[in-house]
Amino acid sequence: MAQANILIVEDEAVVAADLADKLERAGYGVVGAASRGEQAVRMAKANPPDLVLMDIRLAGPLDGVTTAECLKAFADMPVVFLTAHSDRDTLKRASLTEPFGYILKPFDERDLVTQIEIALYKHQAERRLRDSEARYRSLVETAVDSIVTIDGSGVIRSCNAATERMFGYRREDILGRHVSALIPVPKAGEDWASAYGFASGQPGVVGVWRELKGRRRDGRLFPVEIAVSEVSVGGQFLFTGIVRDVTERQAAHEALRGLAAQLEQRVQERTRELVQSQERLRGLATELNLTEQRERKRLATELHDHLAQLLVLGRMKLSQAKPLTESNPACADLIAQTAAVLDESLTYTRTLVADLSPPVLHDFGLPAALKWLGEHMQRHDLTVTVQWSGDEQLRLPEQESVLLFQSVRELLMNASKHAGCGRAVVTVDRRAGDLCIEVRDDGKGFDVAAADHGPTPMSSKFGLLSVRERMAVLGGRCDVDSAPGAGTRVTLTLPLGGSEALSGKALSIELGNEASNTGTLSAGPQRSMLSGSKLQDAKIRVLLVDDHTVVRQGLRSVLEGYPDMEVVGEAGNGFEALAMADRLRPDVIIMDVNMPQMDGVEATARITAAHPSAVVIGLSMHNSGHYEQTMKKAGAAAYLSKEAVVEHLHGTILRCRPADGASGGEGRNGVSQTLTGGAVPMAEP
């Protein structure tokens, strides 16, 4: 072994020097050379070598054999004897010290190196073997389980301390006895080896735990498990059995089964209580949610019916005052600034109303509301595409529409905050009687299984939880499909069961043909029904329909400022408008969209059906395209926002005024091409 350190013990100086020279040339280190045995012992203690080359015959009281015995007494180092004598007595005496080799003098350098390498390798192998045996012995003796070694006839050859403790015998009383004294054969007459799994070559038993009975010294039986391994030593098969006392474990299992039965009963009771509690909580949560929506709707209604109308009236008054200030630029500028403030207030009020309770949801249902929501999410830097499949009308109960709308809005807000992609797609279709709404994005995604315990933001977790709860209340479900880096797809499924309402307003939002990939409802340009007028030099008779008195007064004051206009009546809702239209036969009807009892959409549809020559101009504080399109579908010739009514109402009436020769019985299709000026777009404030 290269770089091994060697101690030379040789009383002939010439031989020692030659030996040291050969060793150094071979790459070994020489830690010293001793000529006497006692000197070698001192040097080995001071600087232990890896190997000792020892001359058998040394001068002095200690010869080589005695010196080797002294070294062996205090150190584990290999000794290789150097001798010129090969007589039997010398070798026999030297063998008692268990040397690692002999080198006869004179020695060849190659033989010297070979013997040294063999001695070093043998010493290391024996050391590893001793260490392995020590570890094995320690493992066996400290094991909790009984470990016994049995020969092919069933006689116990060895055992550990745990065997003594388990069976109550001393070790000397166990060794040499048949294994059946400790582990009785289960069945009378059965072969012990087959019963225990000790049969050589028996398939499926070696290394497998078997349940048997052990017998203690006092004769008591107790449950054990035994596993067997097989080894061949010197051509003889030996078996090692590991015996485990499972008395406490079986007692624990029995107790555990009893506790498990009690626990199962308690769990069932608690589960019933939890289910009942969950149902109550879910009902309370639903009621709380609906109460919140009712309060939101109430606040939105208050804002719309009072504050917004007052702002509209103020805007009208300012517009009326504007012509009076043409000679006073300072006053005109002040009015313009005030008008801008009112416009901003109206915009803010309209936005606040939409955030509290989108009017489009309550007025036109879920389809139009989702289209509006897709456009609305632009404010949150999220581009949403709303897609509809099929060609059908969809009207849901208000509770279902509100909860579905909230769920989709929650999912889109999550996508805006956490997806990191800036785009989302909402797809709505019907599958086997279910309404399916899918919200997907191509963003970062997340691990669905670990969402409840991972680093998913709490707002996202709570959002998904609230969506699941809402869908559970409706009898539907919420399925989430997502993975890190693969985006997220959430599918809301609501069983319709044929109970969805198809009634409602005179005209509902049509799906399919009017759906576009941009999430907006499309409508071609509409033309008013009449153009020209036999009343060119006569006044145009106007009926005002609005549920707010202050707005009707404002409209009246605007129209009365024109000599060609005559306000013939005012109505506060759709029913009153129908009655006045039948009685007064006005030329033009200014129709508010949102009114109690009967709204402007249904009233417009009924009036235009009964009086085709009557021109209806829709009016609302909302500037959403859904209101304009719905009013025009119902038969309105034009649509205006209330804040722009002063600037555009008179001109719109003139463009849509009844044509010459038009009568109450003339079909609307017969006069629809006589409208001048083209379509009247919704005016921006």
Distance separating alpha carbons of residues 13 and 6, to the nearest angstrom: 16
Distance separating alpha carbons of residues 289 and 283, to the nearest angstrom: 10
Please check the confidence at residue 230 and state whether its pLDDT lies above 50. yes
The sheet carrying 156-159 orders its strands as 156-159, 146-151, 236-245, 221-233, 210-215
Identify the H or E element spanning 581.
helix 574-584
Please check the confidence at residue 200 and state whether its pLDDT lies above 80. no
Do 5-140 and 540-674 share a fold?
yes
| Of 39-43, 167-171, 175-179, 375-379, minimum mean pLDDT range | 375-379
Please check the confidence at residue 494 and state whether its pLDDT lies above 70. yes
Please check the confidence at residue 42 and state whether its pLDDT lies above 60. yes
Give the pLDDT score at 375.
83
Task: Answer whether the bond into residue 359 is a cis peptide, omega within 30°.
Answer: no
Identify the H or E element spanning 86.
none
Give the pLDDT score at 591.
93
Which among 538, 539, 568 is positioned nearest to 556, based on CA atoms? 568
Q: What backbone phi and psi angles, to 5 degrees, belong to 440?
A: -135, 155
Range of 289-303, 385-399, 507-521, 604-618 with top mean pLDDT:
604-618
**What CATH number has the domain spanning 540-674?**
3.40.50.2300
Give the pLDDT score at 463.
67
Rounded to the nearest angstrom, the gap between the alpha carbon of residue 49 and the centroid of all alpha carbons in its chain is 65
**Which two tokens mark 192?**
């012990």
Identify the H or E element spanning 609.
helix 600-610
Please check the confidence at residue 585 and state whether its pLDDT lies above 90. yes
Give the pLDDT score at 390.
58
Please check the confidence at residue 528 and state whether its pLDDT lies above 80. no
> By percentage, how much of the chain surpasses pLDDT 70?
82
Give the pLDDT score at 536.
43
Give the pLDDT score at 91.
66
Give the pLDDT score at 316.
76
The yes/no answer on whether domain 361-495 falls in CATH 2.60.40.10 is no
Residue 581's pLDDT band (cuts 50, 70, 90):
very high
Distance separating alpha carbons of residues 54 and 63, to the nearest angstrom: 9
Residue 451's pLDDT band (cuts 50, 70, 90):
low
- pTM (two decimals): 0.43
Distance separating alpha carbons of residues 339 and 322, to the nearest angstrom: 10
Radius of gyration of the chain (CA): 52
Domain 5-140: give its CATH architecture: 3-Layer(aba) Sandwich (3.40)
Give the pLDDT score at 312.
79
Give mean pLDDT, residues 598-609: 93
Which among 35, 108, 47, 32 is positioned nearest to 77, based on CA atoms? 47
Residue 677's pLDDT band (cuts 50, 70, 90):
very low
Q: Tell me if 75 sits within 8 A of 48, measured CB to CB.
A: yes
More confident residue, 88 or 273: 273
| Of 4-8, 115-119, 215-219, 312-316, minimum mean pLDDT range | 312-316
User: To the nearest whole number, what is the mean pLDDT of the chain?
Assistant: 78
Distance separating alpha carbons of residues 494 and 404, to the nearest angstrom: 9
pLDDT tens profile 70-94? 888 888 888 888 877 666 666 676 6
Q: Where are the alpha helices (DSSP H) in 188-246?
A: 192-196
Domain ranges of the chain: 5-140, 143-245, 274-329, 361-495, 540-674
Q: What is the DSSP letter of 593?
A: S
Please check the confidence at residue 652 and state whether its pLDDT lies above 80. yes
pLDDT tens profile 292-334? 777 887 887 788 777 877 887 787 777 777 777 778 888 888 8
Give mean pLDDT, residues 615-639: 86
Please check the confidence at residue 221 and state whether its pLDDT lies above 90. yes
Give the pLDDT score at 664.
38
Residue 96's pLDDT band (cuts 50, 70, 90):
low
Give the pLDDT score at 99.
81
Residue 533's pLDDT band (cuts 50, 70, 90):
very low
Backbone region of residue 96 per phi and psi (left: phi > 0; alpha: psi in -120 to 50; beta: other values): alpha
Give the pLDDT score at 454.
53
Distance separating alpha carbons of residues 585 and 281, to the nearest angstrom: 57
Give the pLDDT score at 684.
33
Residue 542's pLDDT band (cuts 50, 70, 90):
very high
Domain 143-245: give its CATH architecture: 2-Layer Sandwich (3.30)
Give the pLDDT score at 659.
54
Give mean pLDDT, residues 367-392: 80
Give the pLDDT score at 667.
35
Give the pLDDT score at 286.
73
Give the pLDDT score at 608.
93
